[in-house]
Amino acid sequence: MPPSTHTYMSEQTKIQSESQSKEKLSFRVGDIVSLDLEKYERKIKSIKIRTRSELDIFEWSKRGYANNNYWIPLSAENVSRIEESNVSREEFIEKYEVPGLPVVINGCTKGWPAEVKWNRETLLKKFEDYRFKVGEDDNGDPVRMAFKYYLYYLENEAIKDDSPLYIFDSSFGKLKRSTQPQQAAKTNLKVSPINYSLDLSEDPTENQNKSEESKKKQPSFHRPCLLKDYKVPKYFDDDLFRLTGEKRRPPYRWFVLGGERSGTGIHFDPLGTSAWNTLLVGHKRWCLFPPFTPRKIIDPKLKGLDHEAVSWFTHVYPMLVSVEKDQDKSYAEEFEMVQVLQKPGETMYVPGGWHHVVMNLDFTIAVTQNFCSPTSIEHVWLRTRNSRPKLAQKLLNSSSFVDEYELEVSETQSETDGSDGECLCYTCKMKRKRKEKLDKQNEEAEKQMRKEYKRRERKEFERLNQEQQNNRVTKGKEKGKRYNDRMINEEVKKKKRKKEE
Ligand SMILES: O=C(O)CCC(=O)C(=O)O
Ligand SMILES: [Fe+2]
């Protein structure tokens, strides 16, 4: 028998309060490393301006999201969980990969050095001055921040920021020398003038024992040594992108670290890839939607709504789970939304094409990789053949599926083309009709969402107005009462005086 909702609720409350007390007990960055606070102030301002130029520097906390509670009861979860040691690769492929179903896997982190090493204190001591990527500027160039200042930021203004800066860094897989100049200067070692594009699997402290010659050849002193700290879970180690070679393949693995309310807005992963995401510290809240879900429903373009995860959970999520008068079920039910509260040690499997939005509920550390498994090769090939033809060709050579597939895609069943090159065969016509119908439905749904959003905004405005008015009335009453009390007091005193006279 499943445990009652009540049991779930109290378990969730326990998780939440444990997580909060842990945060309170931990040290402050300044206790461990030295900080130049003037430098920090300058840096944080410029980083905020560069990463979100649309936002005034004083507007980072204007929505007051820090006052909201985003934890969900465990009873709201509807994802399957498995134990890595109990489920074979074959079973995983059959039950989750082939049908494309998200699942949470437990037990993958057993024996990972990351279980011990990935915490604030150890990472701070190791990567104090290492500049991790915390965002991108308007040209798509990475914006980096020294780790100690990032942690200091989390301890201070990030507490109030609506959607705090978030470390999302793939440089432990690839790194150019020019990205970390301070580090090189600090260690006072010679660096050859080439660009490094290597696996950054070495520990800077291990380097101390190496000969001067080998230090020159392997400038590992400024490489984060994270690759050795984890292992790709067994279900995902057959990654066909390896065929392109490490240098050619697009970024595919990230070290991810952030505070409460930071996160990743709704998206699906590039090139049709699937992903795994293992959490070492903290809790993440996920919503996932199957590939066929209309974009307009789950990613509506609403005035004033940015693309941050926390805005999505504040404004879009409530609309998706509510059932409106003319609906018999919510959009969340209709489109089979999957909800997850991911806990430390859990690995989330995200099948290719699934839309997802992720928000950190407290301080989190995770690692995530995108991959192309033999099961999803067809899906990935279809999405790479135009944008990455060479990559697609390599995938194709590695598999036999295209022999059958090519026949299917190359036949349009007709040689009649419209003047604009549009195919006029029956199949293509029907495809266009279906698309038109779907577009219309989506437009209708989007209109409804806009209406609902406006209604909610109005309600919120009215509520705030009412609250203000109530406050005024209460204050007025208090004032009146104080005045009355004073009058009575004076009356009593007068009477007393008269009596005495
Ligand atoms: O942990 C997160 O913020 C989500 C990561 C993610 O969705 C991605 O890397 O594509
Ligand atoms: Fe993703």
Q: How confident is the model at residue 420 (pLDDT cuts 50, 70, 90)?
A: low
pLDDT reading at 423 higher than 80: no
| 460 within a domain of the structure (yes/no) | no
Q: How confident is the model at residue 3 (pLDDT cuts 50, 70, 90)?
A: very low
Q: What is the pLDDT of residue 205?
A: 34
Express each pLDDT in 217-268 by its tens digit.
333 345 567 999 999 999 999 888 887 777 778 889 999 999 999 999 999 9
Q: Which residues line ligand 1 (CB under 6 A)?
A: 254, 256, 263-264, 269, 275, 277, 284, 356, 358, 366, 368
Higher pLDDT residue, 499 or 1?
Answer: 499
Mean pLDDT of 102-111: 97
Q: How confident is the model at residue 119 (pLDDT cuts 50, 70, 90)?
A: very high
Higher pLDDT residue, 211 or 245?
Answer: 245
For the beta carbon of residue 62, count every other beta carbon within 10 angstroms.
10
Least confidently predicted of 94-98, 107-111, 372-376, 401-405:
401-405
Structure tokens that stand for 317 in this block = 């999520």
- Distance between Cα 285 and ligand 2 center (Å): 13
Q: How would you write 109-155 as a 3-class SS string?
A: CCCCCHHHHCCHHHHHHHHCCCEEEEEECCCCCEEEEEHHHHHHHHH
Structure tokens that stand for 357 in this block = 């939005």
CB 374 within 8 A of CB 310: no
CB 252 within 8 A of CB 173: yes
Cα distance between residue 369 and residue 232, in whole Å: 8
| 496 within a domain of the structure (yes/no) | no
pLDDT reading at 412 higher than 50: no
Structure tokens that stand for 194 in this block = 């080439």
CB 254 within 8 A of CB 341: no
| 315 within a domain of the structure (yes/no) | yes
Express each pLDDT in 58-93 by its tens digit.
999 999 999 999 999 888 999 999 999 999 999 999
Q: What is the pLDDT of residue 74?
A: 85
Express each pLDDT in 126-136 by its tens digit.
999 999 999 99
Cα distance between residue 339 and residue 162, in whole Å: 22
The ligand 1 atom nearest the CA atom of 356 = 7
| 191 within a domain of the structure (yes/no) | no
Residue 257's nearest CA partner among 133, 340, 162, 353 is 133
| 242 within a domain of the structure (yes/no) | yes
Provide the whole-model pTM: 0.74
Cα distance between residue 437 and residue 320, in whole Å: 22
Cα distance between residue 377 and residue 455, in whole Å: 45
The ligand 1 atom nearest the CA atom of 350 = 7
| 447 within a domain of the structure (yes/no) | no
Which residue range(s) make up the domain with 129?
Answer: 10-172+224-379
What CATH number does the domain containing 280 carry? 2.60.120.650
CB 27 within 8 A of CB 121: yes
Ligand nearest the Cα of residue 284 is 1
Ligand nearest the Cα of residue 354 is 2
CB 445 within 8 A of CB 296: yes
For the beta carbon of residue 25, count every other beta carbon within 10 angstroms.
7
| 153 within a domain of the structure (yes/no) | yes
- Distance between Cα 121 and ligand 1 center (Å): 24
Pairing between β-strand 103-106 and β-strand 80-83 as defined by DSSP bridges: parallel
Least confidently predicted of 167-176, 401-410, 478-487:
401-410
The ligand 1 atom nearest the CA atom of 166 = 3
Q: What is the pLDDT of residue 31?
A: 93
| 253 within a domain of the structure (yes/no) | yes
Express each pLDDT in 336-379 by its tens digit.
999 999 999 999 999 999 999 999 999 999 999 999 988 888 77
* Residue from 168, 170, 355 whose mutation best tests the ligand 1 pocket (most atoms within 8 A of CB): 168
Q: How would you write 362-388 as a 3-class SS string?
A: CCEEEEEEEECCHHHHHHHHHHHCCCC
Residue 136's nearest CA partner among 161, 108, 168 is 168
Task: Please name the residue whose Cα sits nearest to atom 9 of ligand 1.
Answer: 368
Count up the domains in the chain and report the number.
1
